[in-house]
Structure 1
Amino acid sequence: MVEEHRIKQALLNYINPEATYKDIATVIAHYQNLQPLKDTYVFLDGSQKELLNLAGTIPVRYKGTVYNIPVCVWLMDTHPQHAPLCYVKPTPDMSIKVSKFVDQNGKIYLPYLHDWSQDTSELVGLIQVMIVTFGETPPVFAKSRNNDMPYPSNQYGMQGGASSYMHYNQPPYPIPGNFPAFPPYPPASTTSFPSYPTFPTPYPPYSVNPPVSAGTGTIKEEHIKESLLTAIEEKLMRKMNEDFQQNQAELETLKRTQDELKLGNTKLQTIFESLQKEKNDLEKNITVLKDKEQELDKAIERLSQQDSIDVDDAVTTTAPLYKQLLNAFAEEAALEDAIYYMGEALRCGVIDLEVFLRQVRTLSRKQFMLRALMQKCRQKAGLTSI
Structure 2
Amino acid sequence: MVDPARLKMWLNKYQNPDATYRDITNAVNHYQGLQPQQETYTFVDGTTMDLVNLTGTIPVTYKGSVYNIPICIWLIDTHPKNAPICYVKPTPDMSVKVSMYVDQNGKIYLPYLHDWIPNASDLIGLIQVMVVTFGEQPPVFAKPKNDMMHMPKPSYGAPYPMQTPPYPPSTGFTGGYPPPYPPNTGNSFPTSFPPYPNTPFPPFPPTSNFGSSIPEKGPIGTGTIRDEHIRESLLTAIEEKLVRRMKEQFLQNQAELQTLKRTQDELKQGKTKLDALLIKLEKEQKDLDKNITLLKDKEQELNTAIEKIGNQESIDVDDAVTTTAPLYKQLLNAFAEEAAHEDAIYYMGEALRCGVIDLDIFLKQVRTLSRKQFMLRALMQKCRQKAGLAI
Q: Above 0.5 in TM-score?
A: no
- Using structure 2 for the length normalisation, give the TM-score: 0.43
TM-score, normalised to structure 1's length? 0.44
Q: Which protein has the larger Cα radius of gyration, Structure 1 or Structure 2?
A: 1
